[in-house]
C-alpha cells in the first residue's frame, strides 16, 4: 500500500508492507499484554475491596492510584 504524507512542507511517499506472520505476532503480543494487565487490575481491585478504609477519601485516592498504574483498564467506583 502506498501513502503520501506531507511533513514539514515536504511531500513523502511511504510504502507500507503488511505480512500475515507479523500481524499474528502483534496480535499475540497485544493479547498477552491485555491478559497481564487484567491480572494486575484484578489483584489491585481485590486489595481495594479487602482493605478497610475509614472514609471514602482514602478509598478514592487508592482508586486513583490504581487507574494511574493501569494503561489498558479503568476501574470505576
Tell me the pLDDT tens digit for each residue of 38-72. 999 889 888 888 888 888 888 889 888 888 988 88
- pLDDT band with cut points at 50, 70 and 90 for residue 74: confident
Handedness of CA 59, 63, 64, 69 (dihedral sign): positive
Q: Which residues pair with 7 in a beta bridge?
A: 10
Instruction: Quote the pLDDT of residue 13.
Output: 94
- Contacts of 69 by beta carbon, 8 Å cutoff, 6+ apart: 40, 44
- Enter the pTM of the model: 0.61
Identify whether the C-beta of residue 37 lies closer than 8 Å to the C-beta of residue 73: yes
Q: Is the pLDDT of residue 12 over 90?
A: yes
Amino acid at each position: 500500500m502506498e501513502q503520501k504524507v506531507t511533513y514539514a512542507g515536504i511531500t513523502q511517499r511511504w510504502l507500507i508492507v503488511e505480512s500475515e506472520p507479523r500481524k499474528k505476532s502483534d496480535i499475540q503480543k497485544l493479547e498477552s499484554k491485555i491478559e497481564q494487565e487484567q491480572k494486575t487490575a484484578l489483584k489491585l481491585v481485590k486489595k481495594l475491596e479487602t482493605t478497610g478504609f475509614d472514609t471514602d477519601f482514602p478509598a478514592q485516592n487508592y482508586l486513583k492510584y490504581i487507574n494511574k498504574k493501569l494503561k489498558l483498564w479503568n476501574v470505576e467506583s
